[in-house]
Structure 1
Amino acid sequence: MSPSSLISGARYWPDERALELCFTGGRRYLYLGVPASVAEDFTRSMSMGRYFNEAIKGRFTCHELASEAVPRRRRRAAND
């Protein structure tokens, strides 16, 4: 996967035909019914953002997933 200013990560499950996309803003979406050929072309494209907008966005059922929150470290009080 080449670097993208829009997409920070992707995973594909061929048996379920499901594509998970993580966007640089922190949101994650699961796209359903995505053929393996579309997922492969997406990861090989010169511009994943452009390919996403042209071939994925609005063409497949999608669900927003809960963001993977990074736990905050608790600050220690000066008296601890």
Structure 2
Amino acid sequence: MVAGGALLHEQVRSSNIRSVGYSQADRVLEVAFHSGALYRYDSVPADVHSALMAASSKGSFLARFVKGRYPYHRISS
């Protein structure tokens, strides 16, 4: 686990994504990119987080099932 934003992050194997953090209680997903950008997605169900972590391509899953579906904001660049 590594520190990301407000959540503890788990490093992932991805060409774009460095780590992912999730709070089931708050339904908040944080995604840290290798570029240094950190995004927080709100109202994300636990099953979506689980599917992201199990996906063979984290970036493709994020683009298809998270981006544009959940409210988000950039925490840092």
TM-score (normalizing by structure 1): 0.79
Taking only the aligned residue pairs, the percentage that are identical comes to 33
Residue 19 (structure 1) aligns with: 29
Q: How far off is 1:66 after superposition?
A: 2.6
| Bigger strand share | 2
Which ranges of 4 or more aligned residues in structure 1 deviate by more than 2 Å?
Answer: none
Residues 41-76 of structure 1: per-residue CA shift (max 9 Å, x gap)? 000100001100110011100011035xxxxxxxxx
User: Is the Cα contact below 8 Å between 2:21 and 2:29 reproduced in 1?
Assistant: yes
Residues 4-46 of structure 1: per-residue CA shift (max 9 Å, x gap)? 0110000000010000000111000000000000000000100
What RMSD in Å do the two structures reach over aligned CA positions? 1.2
Alignment partner of 2:36: what SS? coil
Mapping for residues 42-53 of structure 1, pairs under 5 Å: 42-53=52-63
The structure number with the bigger radius of gyration is 1
